[in-house]
């Protein structure tokens, strides 16, 4: 018998329930996207074939999680599911206080309000839309301290999520340490392509921040995926479990905001975690005003149970290997075809480089927005713009930010699609790539004041 050259990975689960999806015609899709103002956020989900808009809240839950949903204790106060979730946060993340919120931005709101004074600066390893928005609403100024490699889609640097400590030192010199509310440190940096930071970089950051008395607040949304990359990419970590790496990361931080809709394999939920007693007290005071009581904060008991169980599953090596393996599978197919994507392949999505894909469309004609619309027209695959529309406008000058990265994100929900879905997606991208010269730029005809990408409307330029 011939020897196998390669041993493939496969999903560590089998499928028990299926949800049918609708097949549509090109003509139908051209009309649907026009009606949606060429904004994939405005499409109806039932008109989408393969939904790669986001990995947020779109995961498939396990039978263990669904069983937990039946165990929801929906008491207004003191739900037992809260205590299960609290125990899971202590066990896997190690933080002292759990402040549950309806989703990640609820936690960002509270953290920003309790820690940022007007005029403060919040250095971060690249911006995230909702995170920066809450920092600005609290009167803060975001400062980008990510390494330069993160802004270069071609750079194959393994830890593009790293903080550039020189950039941070300069900010401390310029503003004074007392003006730095905290460091906003994101795991597997979303806007950079799902790129991790290394433990070495975090330890150096911790040292610098300890000297200057600056707290580090982790955006833990995809920190378990970051832990997997530390295990597989960083020297000295191969023999540690994801659990051990996760705990070590958190030990260098003072708290975290979390959108459980990603790593935790649930459809809704999030939290703020803190170690400081006084800050936690302040956070709970705001929690009851904006989210809900301290033992549910906007999440149903059953959803807290699904979160607690999801955390247990998310730290499993086999789960992560298959999850990230599937993203790599799609990315490698696109690289084979010669489609320009952000390198290295990240954890939760493939990012098309729209500047290279559509060099004939200037950035102020929204090339990534136009590309996302063209992909939907071709196959019904829904993707997301992550470029100039997402970046928004500079609050002071009113001008567009012109981000170096003009990307379309193909985000893979966890445990939802098969390898065949990835093949169909790659084939659609290939077809669009072959016809790229025919794609036209867009004009923005409706622009909301904040987080404009969610609801903006466009028309095709002729
Ligand atoms: C996403 F187009 N992400 O990736 P919430 N931090 C980080 C996130 O990725 C994140 C949140 C905080 C989404 C949903 C989304 O511009 C957008 O639970 C690293 O969504 O409130 C969310 O967590 C916020 C899509 C959010 C967007 C903002 O698809």
CA–CA dist 277, 97 (Å, integer): 8
Residue from 231, 309, 386, 409 carrying the catalytic annotation: 386
| CB atoms near residue 247 (< 10 Å) | 17
Q: How many residues in the chain?
A: 462
Residue 240 has a pLDDT of 98
- Measured in degrees and rounded to the nearest 5, phi and psi for residue 301 equal -55, -45
For ligand 1, atom 16, the nearest C-alpha belongs to: 129
Residue 3 has a pLDDT of 72
Place of tokens 């309000």: 113
Residue 395 has a pLDDT of 84
- Measured in degrees and rounded to the nearest 5, phi and psi for residue 157 equal -55, 135
221: annotated active-site residue: no
- Residues in CB range of 418: below 8 A, 6 or more apart: none
458: annotated active-site residue: no
Residue 455 has a pLDDT of 98
Residue 9 has a pLDDT of 81
CA–CA dist 291, 272 (Å, integer): 12
Tell me: the pLDDT tens digits for 222-257? 999 999 999 999 999 999 999 999 999 999 999 999
For ligand 1, atom 20, the nearest C-alpha belongs to: 104
- Ligand 1 neighbours (beta carbon < 6 A): 54, 56, 103-105, 128-131, 186, 190, 219, 221, 259, 261, 270, 384, 390
Give the ligand 1 atom nearest the CA of 348: 4
Q: How buried is 209 (Cβ within 10 angstroms: 0-12 exposed, 13-18 middle, 19+ buried)?
A: buried
Q: Which of 170, 249, 169, 247 is nearest to 203 (CA)?
A: 249
Question: What averages of pLDDT result for each successive group of 10 residues across the chain (462 residues)?
Answer: 76 96 96 98 98 98 98 98 98 98 98 98 96 97 98 97 98 98 98 97 98 98 98 98 98 98 98 98 98 97 98 98 97 97 97 98 98 98 98 93 97 97 98 98 97 97 92
Give the ligand 1 atom nearest the CA of 130: 28
25: annotated active-site residue: no
Tell me: the pLDDT tens digits for 80-93? 999 999 999 999 99
SS3 per residue for 39-91: CHHHCCHHHCCEECCCCCCCCCCCHHHHHHHCCCCCCCCCCHHHHHHHHHHHH
386: annotated active-site residue: yes
Residue 182 has a pLDDT of 98
453: annotated active-site residue: yes
For ligand 1, atom 7, the nearest C-alpha belongs to: 221
460: annotated active-site residue: no
Residue from 82, 92, 128, 351 carrying the catalytic annotation: 128
Which tokens hold the place of 146?
A: 């990510």
129: annotated active-site residue: yes
Residue from 129, 130, 253, 411 carrying the catalytic annotation: 129
CA–CA dist 19, 108 (Å, integer): 33
Residue 160 has a pLDDT of 98
Give the ligand 1 atom nearest the CA of 54: 29
Q: How buried is 162 (Cβ within 10 angstroms: 0-12 exposed, 13-18 middle, 19+ buried)?
A: buried
- Residues in CB range of 189: below 8 A, 6 or more apart: 125, 126, 146, 150, 160, 161, 195, 196, 197
């Amino acid at each position: 018998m011939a020897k196998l050259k390669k041993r493939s990975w496969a999903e560590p689960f089998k499928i028990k329930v299926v949800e049918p999806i609708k097949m549509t015609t090109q003509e139908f899709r051209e009309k649907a996207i026009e009606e949606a103002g060429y904004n994939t956020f405005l499409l109806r989900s039932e008109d989408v074939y393969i939904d790669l808009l986001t990995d947020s809240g779109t995961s498939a839950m396990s039978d263990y999680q669904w069983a937990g949903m039946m165990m929801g204790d929906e008491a207004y106060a003191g739900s037992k599911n809260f205590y299960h979730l609290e125990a899971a946060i202590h066990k896997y993340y190690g933080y002292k206080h759990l402040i549950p919120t309806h989703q990640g931005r609820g936690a960002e709101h509270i953290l920003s309000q309790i820690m940022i004074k007007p005029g403060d600066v919040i250095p971060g390893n690249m911006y995230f839309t909702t995170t920066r928005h809450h920092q600005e609403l609290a009167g803060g100024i975001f400062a980008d301290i990510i390494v330069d490699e993160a802004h270069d889609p071609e750079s194959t640097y393994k830890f593009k999520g790293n903080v550039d400590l020189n950039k941070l030192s300069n900010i401390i010199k310029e503003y004074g340490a007392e003006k730095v509310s905290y460091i906003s440190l994101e795991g597997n940096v979303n806007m950079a392509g799902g790129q991790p930071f290394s433990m070495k970089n975090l330890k150096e950051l911790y040292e610098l921040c300890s000297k200057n008395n600056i707290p580090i607040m982790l955006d833990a949304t995809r920190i378990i995926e970051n832990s997997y990359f530390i295990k597989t990419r960083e020297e000295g970590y191969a023999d540690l479990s994801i659990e051990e790496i996760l705990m070590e990361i958190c030990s260098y931080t003072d708290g975290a905001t979390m959108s459980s809709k990603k790593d935790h394999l649930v459809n809704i939920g999030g939290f703020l975690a803190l170690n400081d007693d006084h800050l936690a007290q302040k956070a709970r005071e705001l929690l009851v005003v904006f989210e809900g009581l301290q033992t549910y904060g906007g999440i149903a008991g059953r959803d807290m149970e699904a979160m607690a169980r999801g955390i247990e599953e998310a730290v499993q090596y086999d789960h992560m290997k298959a999850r990230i393996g599937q993203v790599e599978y799609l990315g490698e197919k696109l690289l084979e075809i010669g489609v320009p994507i952000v390198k290295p392949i990240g954890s939760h999505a493939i990012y098309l480089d729209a500047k290279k894909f559509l060099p004939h469309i200037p950035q102020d004609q929204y090339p990534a927005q136009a590309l996302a619309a063209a992909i939907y027209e071709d196959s019904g695959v829904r993707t997301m713009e992550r470029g100039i529309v997402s970046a928004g406008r500079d609050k002071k000058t009113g001008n567009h930010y012109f981000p170096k990265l003009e990307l379309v994100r193909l985000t893979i929900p966890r445990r939802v699609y098969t390898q065949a879905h990835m093949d169909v997606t790659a084939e659609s991208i290939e077809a669009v790539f072959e016809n790229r010269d025919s794609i036209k730029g867009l004009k923005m005809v409706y622009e909301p004041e904040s987080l404009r990408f969610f609801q903006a409307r466009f028309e095709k330029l002729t």
